[in-house]
Structure 1
Amino acid sequence: MIPAARDAIRPQPEQPLVHPLMDRAFIGALVRDFYSRVRADSRLGPIFASEIDGDWEPHLEKMTDFWCSVILKNGAYSGRPVPAHLKLKQVREEDFDIWLGIFKQTATELCEPAVAAVFVERAERIAQSLKLAMFYRLSAPGTSPSES
């Protein structure tokens, strides 16, 4: 394939969201509002409560770093989301739909429509990626699923 054609089909990296109100403080407020809703949810609340005992602030700061990296592309987050989620054995695939519904509602209520659309689009891709990693793991070539 010629280089120009290869570059034409290569996905372009996401760009930071540039908006006068978009900063760590705004993202932190969105994260805190979202997780207060998650904690109140009858399905997700107990899952999070079983993992986060007591002080939520370290988790909220980590999630603020995560979303700053996702939205602002500032490199604030250095964790590994997939391994962290793989250990959550009580999570079901449909829980991501609940998570995404709460996230969409939060973003829509706190952000103007164009900004909410960016948050939601990226959240949908994150949810899809985590679902694939947690529930659709492929076997290594030449092995059965029970061997991998």
Structure 2
Amino acid sequence: MNAPLAGRPRPVEERALDHPEIDRAFIGRLVREFYRRVRANHRLGPIFEGVIGRDWEPHLEKLTDFWSAVILKNGAYSGRPVPAHLKLKQVREEDFDIWLGIFRQTAADLCEPDVAKVFVQRAERIAQSLKLAMFFRLPMAQPRED
């Protein structure tokens, strides 16, 4: 056993959410309602509009695939969200708190509590990963001069 890793908890394997009402169609409704709220937000709305523009449908379909893969583990999404988000220089770290607040409320409004909990836990993990990638990158190591 590798000693430095011995005390660390193992990541919990995420499983597909098995619920009779949760399918791609439901996820699509949740995604559309969430992004309707995001677009109405005074801080996030202009950021998203500036990147996506007026034709949201292709992006909403891609996000539905993404969330279907996250929730249903169906392999519907094969994109790379981190490089796309690294290009967004106008995003601040605290914007993720706004995004999560809107997401939590949307999930609570549209889902049963146990289902909302799964969506929110995965959204929190995604937000954390994106924040780490965008704001906490270590500088590249410089070659040592011996």
Q: Say whether the fold is shared (TM-score over 0.5).
A: yes
Amino acid at match of 2:20: P
Partner of residue 91, structure 1: 91
| Worse-matched range after superposition: 31-40 or 132-141 | 132-141
1:73-112, aligned counterparts within 5 Å?
73-112=73-112
Say yes or no: does 1:66 pair with 2:90.
no
Partner of residue 129, structure 1: 129
Note the C-alpha offset of 1:139: 2.0
Note the C-alpha offset of 1:138: 1.0
Note the C-alpha offset of 1:61: 0.2
C-alpha distance in 2 between matches for 1:139 and 1:84: 20
Deviations 1:64-115 (A, max 9, x none): 0000000000000011000000000100000000000000000000000000
Note the C-alpha offset of 1:11: 2.9
Amino acid at match of 1:136: F
C-alpha distance in 2 between matches for 1:30 and 1:37: 11
Partner of residue 20, structure 2: 20
Amino acid at match of 1:27: I
> TM-score, normalised to structure 2's length?
0.90
C-alpha distance in 1 between matches for 2:54 and 2:102: 22
Say yes or no: does 1:51 pair with 2:48.
no
Which consecutive unaligned segments of at least 5 residues does structure 1 have? 144-148
Amino acid at match of 2:136: Y
- CA-based RMSD: 1.5
> TM-score, normalised to structure 1's length?
0.89
C-alpha distance in 2 between matches for 1:117 and 1:131: 21
C-alpha distance in 2 between matches for 1:89 and 1:110: 32
Aligned residues: 138
SS for the counterpart of 2:104 is: helix
